[in-house]
Amino acid sequence: MIYLQLFLSFLQIGLFSFGGGYAAMPLIQGQVVDAHGWLSMSEFTDLITISQMTPGPIAINSATFVGIKIAGLPGALAATLGCILPSCVIVTFIAWLYLRYRRLNALQSVLNSLRPAVVAMIASAGVSILVTAFWGNEARITLAGTNRTLAVIFLLCVLLLRKGKMNPIWVMVLAGVLNAAVSLVGT
């Protein structure tokens, strides 16, 4: 039964996560944290971090991770298959439609109208992860409760990515090293 639950949960994510991995994050959170309780919000944040550090799309990495955690290798296969099946079917159909009707204004209008919704989904997921990173699972967000070390690392990473155009892999490595150094100095 758990294999079917994993398959159906990630089938929903795969079916409705238009816009890619970042847009899928609120859907993944809704299924694995809120609906089924397979992960805590803190574990979900760790999942996103791990999914970013490993090759491949976030949704597929998340499906594999959650599947293994919940039901081992068969669970990972069920969740991953559920996640990729809608994409395979939808992309094949859309590619056929697009190649046939790409010059229609109505199609271009539909594609343009989806962009703001996708940006909103990405922003929503980002805010949830940001809150968990800086304030943990606390119900209240206060200045006193802010993890200042992580806030400074976050700002430094944003500057390095946006202004310094630094490779994201090196930014993640630097963030990990900085946090480890601060932890060592603090103990």
Angle between helices 105-135 and 148-162 (to 10 degrees): 150
Amino acid occupying residue 49 = T
Tens of pLDDT along 92-145? 998 898 888 888 888 888 888 888 988 898 888 888 888 888 888 766 788 888
| pLDDT at res. 159 | 96
| pLDDT at res. 139 | 65
Could you tell me the mean pLDDT of each successive run of 10 residues in the chain, 187 residues long?
96 84 85 94 89 85 95 97 92 88 84 86 86 80 85 94 92 93 83
Cα Rg of the chain, angstroms = 19
Q: What pTM value is reported for the model?
A: 0.59
Q: Where are the domains of the chain?
A: 2-137, 147-187
Tell me what percent of the chain is helix, strand and coil, each rounded to the nearest 5.
80, 0, 20
